[in-house]
Amino acid sequence: MQLEKLVTDLHPPLTSHEASVESDRCYFCHDAPCITACPTGIDIPMFIRQINTGNPKGAAKTIFTQNIFGGMCARDCPTETLCEQACVRNTAEEQPVRIGELQRHATDSLMQSGEQPFKRAADSGKRVAVIGAGPAGISCAHRLSTYGHEVVVFDSRSKAGGLNEYGIAAYKTVDNFAQQEVDYICSIGGISFEFGKKLGDSLKLANLVQEYDAVFIGFGLASVNELSVPGADTEGVVDAVSFISELRQADDYESFGQSIGNPQDVVVIGGGMTAIDAAMQSRLLGAANVTIAYRRGYEHMNASEVEQHLAQTHGISIKPWLQPKAIHSNNGRISEIEFASVKLDNGELVETGDSRRIPADRVYKAIGQSLSPDALSIAGLELKGGRIQVNDERQTGHASIWAGGDCIGNSEDLTVAAVQDGKLAAESIHQSLS
C-alpha cells in the first residue's frame, strides 16, 4: 500500500555487519576530499575508521563535534553532490563509499543509547536570544550552551525543529525523529524555548538587543513566491511548503488525503527538493498521475540526479522546458494547467510558440521562498537581494546581531549549511562575550 511508504524509511538503516563491510571500502585518505566537500568539515575518514574498528559511538562523537544535527543530515543531506561525489572511489567503475548511511549508523547508535557526549560549562552569566528554532538556531544555541551561556530560543510555531520538523518529506524522517533529535541536542541544558513568538509581532528585534547580550537570527524564508499567471488563485492551487508541513503534522495520512480531496492528477511547478518532496508525497498518498513541470532543463534543476531518479522510479513524470501560462478551471475548481514551451536564447528564456495543457485537480507551487524584511529594520542590518548580509563569522553590520541559515545572503539553502552557520556564529558570539 502506497500510504505505508510514507511512514517507512526511504533507506533502511545499515546493520552492524553491513556498516562494517561498507566502512572497509574507505581508503581513509590523509588529505580526504570528502572532508573539504562537507560544509561542516566532519572528519569523515576518522569516523568511518571508528566504525570499522567496532566503535560506532566514538564515530558519532566525531560527527557531533562538527555537526550536532548529524542524525538528520545523514537522512536528508544531498551526500551524492557533496561528500560522496568527492569520494575517491566515485569513478566510472566504482560507487562511492556510502558516507551518509554510515553516518546514520553511527549517530543512531549513540542517540539510542541515551549518552550525551557534551557537557555544559559553568554558567557564564551571559544571555543570548536566538530567533528561529530550526537547524541554524539550535546549532547556535547548543554550541553557546557548551560555553555556559544561557540561550532562549524564540519561534513562531508550536514545535522546535524548523525545516526538519515542518519542511522535509515524511518518508525521510520517520518515527518522529526530528523531535527526538531536538530533545537529544537540547538535553545538554541551558536552552529554553518560547513558542508562538513571531518577529515583528510579539517579538521586537530592538527590544531583544536591549535585553540580551547577543542576538542570533536563524529563521527561514517565510514568504512563498507567487505564481503570476491567470487563474493562480483558483481553488486547488497550493504552495508546496504548506502541503509538506501539513502532511508532516497529520496524525492520519489517509484522513489527510481525504481532507484535500484525494487528488488524482497532481502537477508540481518547480525543480528543487521541495518540488520532488511534494511530488513524491502526492504519489504516496495515492495520486494516479503526478507531473513535475520545470521551466529549464534537467541539468538546471536544484534537485540532484539521485532525487530526480527517485521520483521517476516512483512513476512521477518530470517535464522540463515548460513555463506556466494559465490555470484553467471548471465550476471553480482547477481542471488543467496550460504551459508554454520555452528555450534558452542568449541566456534568456523565450517561448518557442508551442504550448500544452496538462490535466490537474491540484497544483503545488514550489517556485522558491523569500525573506519577510519588515521586522528587520534596525540600524546596521543590511539586506541585499532580499537576504541579510553577514561576514565570514556570520556577524551582521550590527555589533550585537549575528545571522545564519536560509535568511542570509550566502546561504546554500541546505540543512547542513545552516548547521555550520549556527556553529560559526556561536563561536564568534562566544569570543565577543568573552
What's the pLDDT score for residue 421? Answer: 97
> Distance between CA atoms of 346 and 352, rounded to whole angstroms?
14
214 DSSP β-pair partners? 128
Which residue(s) pair with 272 in the sheet? Answer: none
**Which contiguous run of DSSP H or E holds residue 269?**
strand 265-269
pTM: 0.92
Residue 82 CA to residue 85 CA, distance in Å, equals 5
- pLDDT values of the chain reduced to their tens digit, one per residue, 434 residues: 467 777 677 778 999 999 999 999 999 998 999 999 999 999 999 999 999 999 999 999 999 999 999 999 999 999 999 999 999 999 989 999 999 999 999 999 999 999 999 999 999 999 999 999 999 999 999 999 999 999 999 999 999 999 899 988 888 888 899 999 999 999 999 999 999 998 887 789 999 999 999 999 998 777 778 899 999 999 999 999 999 999 999 988 889 999 999 999 999 999 999 999 999 999 999 999 999 999 999 999 999 999 999 999 999 999 999 999 999 999 888 999 999 999 999 989 999 999 999 999 999 999 987 777 666 777 678 888 878 999 999 999 999 999 999 989 876 778 999 999 999 999 999 999 99
Interatomic CA distance for residues 182 and 197, integer angstroms: 19
Query: How is residue 431 written as a grid cell?
Result: 569570543
Would the CATH topology of 127-222+371-433 be identical to that of 224-368? yes
**Would you call 423 exposed, middle or buried from its count of C-beta atoms within 10 A (0-12, 13-18, 19+)?**
buried
In angstroms, rounded to a whole number, what is the distance separating the alpha carbons of residues 21 and 32?
20
Write the burial class of residue 325 (CB in 10 Å: 0-12 exposed, 13-18 middle, 19+ buried). middle
Would you list the DSSP string of 229-283?
STTTTSBTEEEHHHHHHHHHH-S-HHHHHHHTT--SEEEEE-SSHHHHHHHHHHH
| The CATH homologous superfamily of the domain defined by 224-368 | FAD/NAD(P)-binding domain (3.50.50.60)
The CATH class that applies to domain 11-113 reads mainly alpha
Return d(Cα 352, Cα 340) in angstroms, integer. Answer: 8
CB 387 within 8 A of CB 409: yes
The Cβ of residue 5 has, within 10 Å, a number of other Cβ atoms equal to: 17
Domain residue ranges of the chain, discontinuous segments joined by + = 11-113, 127-222+371-433, 224-368
Please name the fold of domain 127-222+371-433: FAD/NAD(P)-binding domain (3.50.50)
- What pLDDT was estimated at residue 12? 84
